[in-house]
Structure 1
């Protein structure tokens, strides 16, 4: 594996150190509200309830509840929001961050969870540039704690973990096909089992065998 693009170097003044997610209410609140209102007007809410993309459409009752949340945040009457009146809807200036997060939590629950408005996902609306001081602090932390090798080891494990989680599927299928070609059913006594259960059991057996090799 080539980690040449992941070389850890001492930060220099004037470089671009990338971005990071940071809880900055003045950035999160207007961006998250704008996103929620846009999804509300289209009645199409993006969510990842179990890690997979889902386009959620709310029924009339839940859409009205969402309008109440937006009304609380903007001060615009619910009827105007539901009737899609030609008005400008902005986040109210006197809404506290605590109240804002409570409203976002309610919105996330209406959508079904896993939306852009969950407590953890709100940080995605606040990406700020890493400063020189923060870059130096991060470098010193890696140098003193990880001794550099720790960071590369985690990166290596991430890549290998992905490969090891996918590879056993092909091995399990290959073994099943080989058994079928060799007509193993005629040689040994075997109970009936679905193809799915057979491949799944062999998949986990291969994973355990691979993990044992890595551990020992």
Structure 2
């Protein structure tokens, strides 16, 4: 019975205009991000630029952070990201004075000297190439630096680049030839070459899969209501869990089919290049990353769409998921280099390199994905319970538990 219902749901989804609109959006998004893909080659020695890498050097972190603070101090505006969205903060006169005192303590420069350094930097077009830096005072310890930067973050209301959990991201330094060679060797020897491209594919596709499935779920759940089919469906002999689970699984599978299809193109490109370069590849890399990286996001977004729609008989899930999606996108903006996945619905790794960062953050990513897959299972179970209550007449179409019939008789 389950398989029969599952196949019927897949067939109905395949006939849905909403589904094909989502597929078209997926294809267009993929083409815009990975349509033209350059194959990573072994780095050449003697190049002027091999890119940049995050720095763990305390002196570099301090100089970049102080340069950033000095620039915002001169401008009088400070950027914060309290919930992912940018918020510009203007401090009071007393707070501005305190920031000036902090800069004096940490750099040894007064306001006029800082303004001159910023004018010199921006006057030479430095902002085009990099952010300003200021050397920390020789007597400044890293512990004291963290203390006063947290004070600045507190004055700004939190969410700034001066918070303790953010200042480590402020420093960067040029990659050396040796760094570039190491990353390439990791890509070829440890990542099976295709692994890096599979992560990049997942990085892009998880963005769109963090929102699209909710439209399919909401449309499917509301379809029976619009067609006045609730009463007919409620008397089916199948259990509520069988009906909801088959419907849910069909949507997840139908969403993943075009994802697997789209992965064929980058996989083929990797295999073609690898053969000419004599590199061994992992042919299953894309399938593994789709299952491990993308599937949990599809699962929880679809489940949330079903749950809220079954509960309210409205499209509320679109608004809720839309808000969650926006926050997740902005939360991931600072972690695009990979290795810092946290609890984000949309984990980012916007590079084919940094395999070592991926390995360091793997346990974190694994916990993240298991959590969302588990939440999806719970949401589907709750949806099935709500559905069963409706079948028994104990819940009306707006999701409220029906009152005791005594109230009706008393009326």
TM over 0.5: yes
CA contact (8 A) 1:172 1:199 kept: no
Deviates more, 1:43-52 or 1:30-39: 30-39
2:151 paired residue number: 106
Which deviations, in whole Å up to 9, do the C-alpha atoms of 1:67-117 show, x marking residues without a partner? Answer: 43223224467xxx6xxxxx2237663243513233222212222222122
* Pairs within 5 Å for 1:193-204: 193=312, 195=314, 197=316, 199=318
Q: Which structure is higher in helix share?
A: 2
1 CA distance for matches of 2:201 and 2:65?
35
CA contact (8 A) 2:65 2:162 kept: yes
User: Of the two structures, which has the highest relative contact order with CA contacts closer than 8 Å and spacing of 6 or more?
Assistant: 1
2 CA distance for matches of 1:122 and 1:64?
22
* Structure 1 residue 69 corresponds to structure 2 residue 113: no
2 CA distance for matches of 1:202 and 1:48?
20
CA apart distance, 1:133: 0.7
2:26 paired residue number: none
Name structure 1 gaps, 5 residues minimum. 82-86
1:96 paired residue number: 140
CA apart distance, 1:201: 8.9
2 CA distance for matches of 1:34 and 1:202?
38
CA contact (8 A) 2:215 2:318 kept: no
1 CA distance for matches of 2:84 and 2:320?
24
Counterpart secondary structure, 1:195: coil
Aligned-residue Cα RMSD (Å) equals: 3.9
Count matched residues. 199
* TM-score scaled by length of structure 2: 0.40
Name structure 2 gaps, 5 residues minimum. 1-29, 118-133, 235-309, 323-371, 381-411
